[in-house]
Structure 1
Amino acid sequence: MSSPEHKQKIWKMIKDIKVGMLVTLDDEVPRARPMHLVQDEYDGTLWFYTRRSAEKVFETATDRDVCLSFSDQEEGVYVSLSGKANLTDDRELIEKYWNPFIAAWFPEGKDDPDVALMEIKVQMGEHWKAKESKTFQLYEIAKANIKKDATPNMGENEKFGG
């Protein structure tokens, strides 16, 4: 797990990206699909709307272990979060996070019995953040190729949890 300060750091990295790729196991084959964040803050749990009838719901019922990846190439931000998935139809939470973007995906409305929230309790992760411009990154890569025994310094990398 991570400290409240670290959770804020993760949230700062992913909040504007909005869409993460959720990886589940479809039988024994990893499968990814985009999921849109609906919350305004992060406390170690991520929330996504889904249909109860969606394949990812059946996949996480069999194996709750999931991974979410977020990336923003322009900003040089990459985040991988692993945790446990859980499906909920908590009406208070569905009401809390409902918005016009979500409503477009669920034309029957928030009271549709197929509407649910997928909760991901993050247990561990890793993130990368480039400190410098793309030009500097290219310089670091070229320098490493010339020196042959150096690796490029691309910025910050941190693992947590687990």
Structure 2
Amino acid sequence: MVEDRAMPCELWKPSFKILFPDGAEDPNIVLLHITGEHAEYWDNSGANQFRYLYQSLNALAAGSTPDIKEGNQHGNVTLID
């Protein structure tokens, strides 16, 4: 766990407010420094990208977080051998 409380402010981007409405100084934000062996991802490109954008903008306007469902484009990646 990253103990530096200034780090969220240094990494903050305005678009993060959609998922973290209380901002970078929210005491509940925790940063983790990890070294991964495997990763899993969901692709929000194509039509899913527009659905995500629409849900995110609605959530921002409502002051909530988006309710994102799993997409069909799911994959796994090995990061180290």
- Tell me the TM-score normalised to structure 1 length: 0.22
> Which structure carries more relative contact order (alpha carbon 8 Å, separation 6+)?
2
Q: Which has the larger strand fraction?
A: 1
Pair member with larger Rg:
1
